[in-house]
Amino acid sequence: MTEIEYKLPEVRVTPIPRLAKGGRWRVEAMRSYSSHLLLWFTRGQGRITVAGTTRGYGAHNAVFIPSGVMHGFEASVQVFGTAVFIPRDLGRALPLLPVHLRIRDAAPQSEISGVLDNLQRELEGTLPERIRAAHHHTGLLTVWLNRQILLHNDDEKSPDAAHRLTSRFTEMIEAQYQSGMNVTQYASALGVTPTHLSRVCNQACGRPASTLLNDRIIFEARRLLRETKTPIQQVAADLGFTSPAYFTRAFQHHTGQTPSAFRRAP
């Protein structure tokens, strides 16, 4: 059997600073990926928001973000580490909810570094069976993650009502940010007032509900403008704006540039 006959989905390993190539908005704005994401920070510190909850992160922190979960994190020039994108159909046992682990012991720190080095070597190499070998290393990575979750169970606090509400809100945003719904409509769907929703969002992540919603929409607008040739009028319509003029005003308010200027920028 040749390697190509395995037809395995490919894992992707990327240095965290490279994620911000083309602008820090690529990591700091609210967004989600179709793949699961494991972030392993080795240097630097900042704040990361996952599913509406903000925490500080530092060296030797592992953050697992399931596919489709809204997130964003500060990525200063001092931040280093590795991002691993794991396809949803890989067939590995992975957590269903986001996980943030602070790995204090040297042994598991060394273990994950070794697994990541081996994984990247296989993905970048030319040896036969490299993709299948990479998937076995990914399996070891998921074992490491699940083992650390079990060992750190006592460190995790159950989410309170505010964090549960913000998590539901971000799930709704991710599913419906193209609908044109405003915060009042989201709050109504969640059975709370807009004031209460914004208050709990501020408690959980330091941002009002409107900022979370706008951040997700403007990230998608930036992505479409920078990575596709979709006409600006169509981008506006696809993101639920009632007119191109309204989209232009909103985009310029949040980014300081018009959509056309942003698209032309290098």
* pLDDT tens digits for range 212-265: 999 999 999 999 999 999 999 999 999 999 999 999 999 999 999 999 999 999
Alpha-carbon gap, residue 263 to 252, rounded angstroms: 12
Domain spanning 3-155, CATH architecture: Sandwich (2.60)
What are the structure tokens assigned to 264, written together?
């032309």
Quote the percentage of the chain above a pLDDT of 90. Answer: 84
**pLDDT band per the 50, 70, 90 thresholds, residue 153:** confident
Length of the chain: 266
DSSP state of 192: S
N-to-C CA span, the chain = 46
- Calculate mean pLDDT across residues 158-164: 82
What are the structure tokens assigned to 261, written together?
């200027």
Q: CA dist 29 to 49, 74, 93, 132, Å?
A: 10, 9, 28, 34
Q: What is the mean pLDDT of the chain?
A: 93
Secondary element (H or E) of residue 249:
helix 244-255
Q: What pTM was computed for the model? A: 0.89
Alpha-carbon gap, residue 98 to 112, rounded angstroms: 18
* pLDDT tens digits for range 176-220: 999 999 999 999 999 999 999 999 999 999 999 999 999 999 999
Boundaries of every domain in the chain: 3-155, 161-264
Inter-axis angle of helices 209-227 and 183-190, nearest 10: 120
Alpha helices in 1-57 (DSSP H): 16-19, 25-28
* pLDDT tens digits for range 89-119: 887 789 999 999 999 999 999 999 999 999 9
CB 60 within 8 A of CB 106: no
Domain 161-264 indexed as CATH 3.50.50.60: no
Q: What DSSP string runs through 145-167?
A: HHHHHHHTGGGPPPP-HHHHHHH
